Amino acid sequence: MYADMNNDPAVETEDGRLEPKLKRTGRMTLYVRRFMRRPSAVVGLVLLIVLAFFAIFGKYLTHWTYEELDFLSLGTPPDGDHLMGTTSGGSDLYAMVVRGLGRSMSIGILSSLATTVIAALVGTAIAFFEGWFEKVGMWLLDMLLVVPSFLLIAMIVRSASGTAGWLWLTLGLTAFGWIGYARTLRTLTMSLRELDYVRAAKFMGVGSLRIIVRHLIPNLGSVLIINTVLGVVSAISSETSLSFLGLGIKAPDTSLGTLLNEGQSVIVTAPWVIIFPSLVLIALTFSMQLIGDGLRDAIDPYSKSAGKAE
């Protein structure tokens, strides 16, 4: 797995001080190169960029807004005026999808980021402070996992409505989404703690904080990045599910899940109402998954795709 490192042309310049920086970008280029070598990862990245572009600038392609109702065309199929048709209530589906995509994306990304931060803090803290702190911490984590988190999120989110609803939803997804992840990170930190070079630093008298920042975080870093990306997928799925059940985003705001909920009743008469949001949703989660898988293979030195170079 190190073979490609060895093959890096190890240049010896007379200016030694400049070299480390140069080498570190070399590491980054290695990641980028490995990532780009996977066609699926590139497809995912392109897809995501297109979707993001669509979510931000898509609204300028139509004169309808997502709040506006066109009472002259209720439940009409796609045509020149309504690019994706209208809902039975007369909303322009295209404007709704653009808006919903933006909502779903922001909820997914925000809650995944927040989840990672909380999980990393709690997970590493529990692993670091051994003894009773660890015991109590683990018991609490287990306890929080007992009640299905979906239930609790629904409970919290249902009371919120209006434009702040999506923030509540993000909060709910975060509040109960970090627990399992924190457990994983704890296990990971514990194994890092036992690494020889971490112990070596400890034996040299390097302070705990310095060890965390210099040796542990860079090692956890790749895991955190990958899981944040993949966490977006699960956050979006949860959001969709809750909104679909009528427990998440509610009118006048909209999300892809809410649109699915609307489309459910008119599945036979106006199938486009579920087809378009579904396609966008699948494109979004699929792209994130492909990027996450690609990152895992690019960053994770233990990944199998690095090839057998023994």
Partner 1 sequence: MIKYILKRLANYVVMLFVAVSMTYFLASAFMNPRSNYMSRHPAPPEASINRSLDNANINDQTPVILRYLRWLKGVVTKWDWGLAPDQSPVGSAVATRISASVQLVTIGTILSIVIGVAIGVYTAIRQYKWQDRTLNAIATFFLVVPTAVLGLFVVFGAIWLNNATGTRLFYVTGLHSYGGSNPWGYVVDFLQHIILPTIVLTIPGVVGYHLTQRTYLLDTMNADYVRTARAKGLTLNQAIRKHALRTSLIPTCVNVAFSIAGVFTGAVITETVFAINGLGRYFVTTINNNDINGAVCIAAFGGACTLGGALLADIASAWLDPRIRLG
Partner 2 sequence: MMFRKTGKDSGESSPRFRTIHATDGQSGNPVDRDAADGETVLQVRDLRVNFASEAGTVHAVRGVSFDLRRGQTLGIVGESGSGKSVTSMSIMGLLDSNAHVTGSIRFHGEELLSKTDAEMSRIRGDGIAMVFQDPLSALTPVFSIGEQMKEALVVHNPKMTADEVRRRSIELLALVGIPNAEERLKSYPHEFSGGMRQRVVIAMAIANNPDVIIADEPTTALDVTIQAQVLEVLQKAQEETGAALIFITHDLGVIAGNADDIIVMYAGAPVETAPVDNIFYEPVMPYTMGLLGACPRPDTGREDRLVPIPGSPTNLVDLPAGCPFSPRCPLAVDECRMSEPELEAVPGRPGQRAACHRTEYILDRKLTYRDVFHVGKAVPSILDDVPYDERRTVLDVHDLKKTFPLTGGGFLRRRIGTVHAVDDVSLEVREGETMALVGESGSGKSTTLLEIMDLKQPEGGTVELFGTPVVKGMPRAERRELHGLVQYVFQDPMSSLDPRLPVYDILAEPLKVARLSKEDINDRIGELMRLVELNPDQVDRFPTQFSGGQRQRIAIARALAVNPKLILLDEPVSALDVSIQAGVINLLEDLQNKLGVAYLLVAHNLSVIRHISTHVAVMYLGHIVESGETETVFRHPLHPYTQALLSAVPVPDPKVERSRHRIVLQGDLPSPVEEIPGCPFASRCPLRLTLPEDKRRLCDTVPPKLGHHDGWRQQVACHFVEESAVRYRAGIVQRSPVTARTEE
Binding region for partner 2 (CB under 8 A): 2-8, 10, 12, 16, 19-20, 23, 195-197, 199-201, 203-206, 214-215, 218-219, 301, 306-310
Partner whose binding site includes residue 306, from partner 1, partner 2, none (CB under 5 to 8 Å by kind): partner 2
State yes or no: residue 156 binds partner 1 (CB under 8 A). yes
Q: Is residue 166 packed enough to be buried (19+ CB in 10 Å), middle (13-18) or exposed (0-12)?
A: buried
Partner whose binding site includes residue 130, from partner 1, partner 2, none (CB under 5 to 8 Å by kind): none
Interaction mask 291-310, partner 1, x per CB under 8 A: --x----------x------
Nearer to partner 1, 36 or 143 (CB): 143
State yes or no: residue 281 binds partner 1 (CB under 8 A). yes
Interaction mask 36-55, partner 1, x per CB under 8 A: ----x---------------
Partner whose binding site includes residue 260, from partner 1, partner 2, none (CB under 5 to 8 Å by kind): partner 1
Q: Which helix (H) or strand (E) holds 233?
A: helix 217-244
State yes or no: residue 146 binds partner 1 (CB under 8 A). yes
Nearer to partner 2, 183 or 215 (CB): 215
Q: Spell out a b/e string for 260-297, using b for 16 or more CB atoms within 10 Å of the CB, else e.
A: bbbbeeeeeebebbbbbbeebbebbbbbbbbbbbbbbb
In whole angstroms, the minimum distance from the beta carbon of 38 to partner 2 comes to 14
Nearer to partner 2, 172 or 294 (CB): 294
Largest interatomic CA distance in the chain: 77
Nearer to partner 1, 10 or 46 (CB): 46
Q: Which stretch binds partner 1 (CB under 8 A): 49-57, 81-89, 183-191, 242-250?
A: 242-250
Nearest to 309 by CA among 74, 16, 12, 34: 34
Q: Is residue 158 packed enough to be buried (19+ CB in 10 Å), middle (13-18) or exposed (0-12)?
A: middle
Q: Is residue 100 packed enough to be buried (19+ CB in 10 Å), middle (13-18) or exposed (0-12)?
A: buried
Query: CA triplet 28, 30, 32: central angle to 5 degrees?
Result: 70
Cα atoms in the 13 Å half-sphere on the side-chain side of 171:
11
